[in-house]
Structure 1
Amino acid sequence: MKKDNKKVIYWLLTGCLLIFIMVIVGGITRLTHSGLSISNYKLISGTIPPMNETEWNAAFDLYKQYPEYQKINHQFTLEDFKDIYFWEWLHRVIGRFIGVVFIIPFVYFLIRKQLTKPTIKKSIILMLLGGFQGFLGWFMVKSGLIDRPDVSHYRLAMHLTAAFITFAYTFWVALDLIYPNKKQIDIKFRNLIRWGLAVLLLQIIYGAFVAGLDAGLLHNYWPLMSDRTLIHESVYIEQSPLIKNFVEGKSGVQFVHRYLAYIVVGLIVFIWYRGKRIKKNNIQSNSLNTLVIIVCIQFLLGIFTLIFRVPIVLGVLHQIVAFFLLGAMTFSLHRFSK
């Protein structure tokens, strides 16, 4: 049987889809403040949720021992707890399912000798990324179980960014098999897209900072951060030294996320403009057109998400379109790479 065949491609694209679903559920988990509802980690037995009232009460009693219940949710009933438990449980189950979907077909393809050596190496990297992502998930949750009723926004950013990178790399490996012959036409243009991807990843990290600090719940105005008419933008100084305001202060983090959005849009529009001046095929042309359309949608979603103080629907949509934007950027880079 031919190596790196359609079955292998479908396997990789299925992995992309599952990571996408996991990121959506993860976004809902964050927005509903459900991430600390399961305070222990059981790889196998944790797949099955509480099945009766006794088990539910035991899970709820365990939750009561940690800061989130004691400092924030002390008024919760068992039914309230069940609501937040569901999203975190679903998020973890999908993570386990992704592991099964990656490992079992990989072993099957390996035994049947349906993978080339380069694809085997890339698949091993993918599984290492997946395992590291699972570790980061628990590492993130652990930060909210000691003395604070919330997870570290640094660890949240690591967890989310790792998920995006795992998706992008999985998609790239699939594209390598879908388009085995790549023709580089302009090194400078390829490098420009690389810069665009790097800035986009930085923006994703700051998006996680905003989510982790609930920084979207203040300065709910646009284009300025205040409803007052100001000659220039200002950042509310919260901490010293000044630089900490831009990585730990809510106002500073939102400030960076806002203005990085302008840079991302500007870079992608510039990539699209530069792309019009070089020779390219229809797939390459469509990839750039799609990229500029998605970034405009994402920019508008960001504005409305902020103005309406991050309702769950808009918050999740904003994260979904960020995922599509990364996918479009990855596809464009692949199509213009050697």
Structure 2
Amino acid sequence: MATKRSIFEEVGEGSSPATPAETGAIDRGRRGARRGIRAWLAVIFVLVVAMIAVGGLTRLTDSGLSITEWRPVTGAIPPMTEVDWQAEFDKYKQIDQWRIENQWMQLSDFKEIYWWEWSHRQLGRLIGLVWALGFFGFLVARQIPRGWAVKLIIPGALGGLQGAIGWWMVSSGVTQGEGMTSVVSYRLATHLGLAFIILGVLAWDIFQLGREERDLMQARRLREAKLFSLSTGWLHIAFVQILLGALVAGIDAGRSYTDWPLMGGQVLPPKPFMIEPLWRNFFENPGLVQFIHRCWGYFLFLFGIAVWLKGRRSAHGATRFAFNAAMAALLVQVGLGIMTVIYAAPLHAAITHQLVAVLVWVLILRARFLSAYPRVQSVRGDVK
């Protein structure tokens, strides 16, 4: 039977202390090894950037067809003896590129182009290995945050697809009697485009893992929908320009006209539709391909100014800074593009132009991310 209690008794007197309320349940349930996974994805990101750079140098040195077979496993071992080297050289001598352009080559010359292509493929193998070790390591250790397992599979799946597309690209140039001396340009564009998609997926995951789930949920309520939509359009326009750049590189169109802003002394280059059927001009006519790349670059720049003017009016300091950085990188890229044209695409200018495209791509993506998940700034100016 319950005893009577005094009306003057303090509340909680004689009873056990109340259990403190638990906080952070959202993050505790979802956290996992967020910092470790973020570092692992950052390593893969750097490797993919290196892959793009080496791939660009492989293309610019005309080395991409030096390995005429696709051997995903055994191809990791390069020729070890002079007999092995001669066997690889003999395989190369069977394709059109050697027959039409490179009959002057000696074995020592062949080795130079072989190492570029081998290094490119080896980087691809390394990326796959780093992804597999990281993913299955975190999976076995049960350190993958809730809801992230499928997200982390996507870069690995895209990487596997990229290997297959890489061979699909190379096989278009490993021909006999067809007169092909390089890979088909639209296959090269597909290969490079997928590399940038992989970079985008990795960067977005890295951005998300850099903030706790609680923070992202709160930031989502402050989403700047109009700015997010504009930055999404900016990102897509930049992606098309990257594909057009690959078409230019695929047929060495960057060296076809070296005057600017005109081409051959006129707005439209001479004979823009000289190839039949008509559609082939958009992939194979150097003058027209370079003209389209230039025009789309102007469109990208003008659209970027419009988005930047909107972004610099954001209420959030980090978002404004992100759009300023993206616009600054785009300005640098425009200048590099003009210089690359004027100097007929020298090796150092062309590869720098390609790498700055990576920077522009990631910075636009960063600005888009902060439009969706703004960092709240307190009255004192601290970013939360």
Same fold (TM over 0.5): yes
- Bigger drift between 17-26 and 60-69 goes to 60-69
User: What pairs with 1:263-282 in structure 2 (closer than 5 Å)?
Assistant: 263-280=299-316, 282=317
Q: CA deviation at 1:250?
A: 1.4
Conserved? CA contact 1:4–1:119, under 8 Å? no
| Counterpart selection for 1:136 from 165, 182, 193 | 165
- The equivalent position to 2:80 in structure 1, one of 39, 51, 54, is 51
Question: Is 1:326 paired with 2:364?
Answer: no
Q: 1:234 to 1:44 in 2, by over 3 A?
A: closer
- Report deviation, 1:240: 4.1
Structure 1 residue aligned with 2:291: 255
Deviation string for 1:258-309 (max 9, x for gaps)?
01111111111211111122311x3212211110110011111111111111
User: TM-score, length-normalised on structure 2?
Assistant: 0.84
Measured in 1, the distance between the counterparts of 2:171 and 2:229 equals 39
TM-score by length of 1: 0.95
Q: Say whether 1:246 aligns with 2:267.
A: no
Deviation at 1:124, TM superposition (A): 1.2
Separation of aligned partners in 1, 2:276 and 2:93: 35
Query: 1:89 is matched with which residue?
Result: 118
Distance in 2 between residues matched to 1:278 and 1:20, nearest whole Å: 30
Where in structure 2 are the equivalents of 1:300-319 lying within 5 Å? 300-319=335-354
Alignment correspondent of 2:9: none
Q: Aligned ranges for residues 180-195 of structure 1 at < 5 Å? A: 180=212, 181=216, 182-183=219-220, 184-195=222-233
CA shift for structure 1 position 117: 3.7
3-state SS of the aligned residue for 1:196? Answer: helix
Query: Given residue 128 of structure 1, which amino acid in structure 2 is its aligned partner?
Result: A
Report matched runs for 1:76-115 at 5 Å.
76-115=105-144
Amino acid at match of 2:354: Q
Whether 1:27 and 2:56 are equivalent positions in the alignment is yes
Contact 1:24 1:316 in 2 (8 A): yes
Shifted more, 174-183 versus 187-196: the winner is 174-183
Q: Which moved more, 1:102-111 or 1:282-291?
A: 282-291
- Residues in 2 aligned to 1:234 and 1:67: alpha-carbon distance in whole angstroms: 30
Say whether the 8 Å CA contact 1:193–1:271 is kept in structure 2.
yes
**Residue of structure 2 aligned with 1:151, choices 183, 187, 190:** 183
Tell me the equivalent position of 1:224: 262
**Matched residue type, 1:308:** Y
- Residue 331 of structure 2 is matched in structure 1 by 296
**Greater helix percent: which structure?**
1
User: Helix, strand or coil: the match of 1:40?
Assistant: coil
Task: Return the alpha-carbon distance in structure 1 between the equivalents of residues 227 and 277 of structure 2.
Answer: 39
Q: Check conservation: 1:16, 1:170, Cα contact below 8 A.
A: yes
Gaps of 5+ in 2: 1-27, 374-384
Q: Deviations over 1:152-194 (max 9, x none)?
A: 0010000000001101111111111113414343211110001
Give the drift of 1:312: 0.7
2:36 counterpart (1, 4, 7): 7
Instruction: Give the unaligned 5+ runs of structure 1.
Output: none
Alignment check: 8 A CA contact 1:119 1:173 kept: no
Please tell me the residue identity of whatever aligns with 2:315.
K
Superimposed CA distance per residue, residues 118-139 of structure 1 (whole angstroms, 9 cap, x where no aligned partner): 2211111111111111111111
Q: C-alpha deviations, 1:67-100, integer Å up to 9, x for none?
A: 1111111110001101100100000000000000
2-structure distance, mates of 1:268, 1:96: 36
* Equivalent position of 1:161 in the other structure: 193
Q: Tell me how large the CA RMSD over aligned residues is.
A: 1.5
Deviates more, 1:324-333 or 1:241-250: 241-250
Counterpart-to-counterpart distance in 2, 1:315 and 1:161: 17
| Structure 1 counterpart of 2:204 | 172
> Contact 1:245 / 1:252 at 8 angstroms: preserved in 2?
yes
Q: Contact 2:269/2:288 (CA < 8 Å) preserved in 1? A: no
Asked whether the 8 Å contact 1:4–1:177 carries over to 2, the reply is: no
Q: Which has the larger radius of gyration?
A: 2
Helix, strand or coil: the match of 2:284?
Answer: coil
Residue of 57, 60, 65 corresponding to 2:94 = 65
Amino acid at match of 2:57: I
Residue 245 of structure 1 deviates from its aligned partner by 2.4
